[in-house]
Amino acid sequence: MLSGNLEYLISSLPQLQFSTSVEDKQRVHSVFQTYSMNDGDINLITVLDDEASKYLSAKKAEIFKQISLNTANHQRFQEHGDAVLSGFSSFLSNLKEKIKLLRLSRNQDTTYVSSPLEALQLKPGNPLEEELQLLELQWHELEELSIGHFSDFSALIAYKIKLLLLQRLWSFDETEGFIQYSKFIKITEDNG
């Protein structure tokens, strides 16, 4: 019975696409708005956590709620028994190490035998373009890891992480980003 309920939940969630289109964003928000039975602003992740908790054991619900983009690379998730969670956690940890090397190489004008950009499979670009590429890399990794998982806990984990990635993607505002970047450059020039 538990599996059937989880299967129902997963099949009733909106399909997620790596997209910034207003229509896709509104479609996802609309479904989660219905789940929340709230007409105001909602936190998509909170709604998903609450709905999932109804169909998960207390232990799985607690683990599920702890997953965020800031914690997904933690050791406890890398060692978790779920293949999607541990696989993504290891991937993210490795990705963060490569990003660290990239930033160090940029700050120190160090050239590596193999460029950190090449290791990350990124095309050089402005910070926003590179961040978008990093999000897409993570999305594709989740797609690979979740093959064969349609209505189980692994599928739900993949869904939550994709939703987290989409929220990050949807939060980017090019105009605001340029303003913040300009302020940073001005501060750097004033102090340098």
pLDDT at 109: 62
Q: Within a domain: residue 115? A: yes
Closest CA to 12 of 166, 155, 139, 148: 155
**pLDDT tens string 126-166:** 888 989 999 999 999 999 999 999 999 999 999 999 999 99
Q: Within a domain: residue 31? A: yes
Whether residue 42 has pLDDT greater than 90? yes
Instruction: Please tell me the distance from the alpha carbon of residue 164 to that of residue 130, in angstroms, as a whole number.
Output: 18
Q: Within a domain: residue 191? A: no
Give the structural domain span for 180: 2-186
**pLDDT tens string 56-87:** 999 999 999 999 999 999 999 999 999 999 99
Q: Within a domain: residue 192? A: no
Q: Enter the pTM of the model.
A: 0.86
Q: CB within 8 A of 80, min separation 6: which ones?
A: 63, 86, 89
The pair of three-digit structure tokens given for residue 70, joined into one six-digit string: 């800031």
17 vs 190, higher pLDDT: 17
As a whole number, mean pLDDT of residues 34-46 equals 90
pLDDT at 146: 97
Q: Within a domain: residue 169? A: yes
The SS3 of residue 40 is coil
Instruction: Please tell me the distance from the alpha carbon of residue 62 to that of residue 125, in angstroms, as a whole number.
Output: 39
Give me the phi and psi of 85, to 5 degrees please: -65, -50
As a whole number, mean pLDDT of residues 113-137 equals 79
Please give the tally of structural domains in the chain. 1
Whether residue 49 has pLDDT greater than 70? yes
Contact of 98 with 116, CB cutoff 8 Å: yes
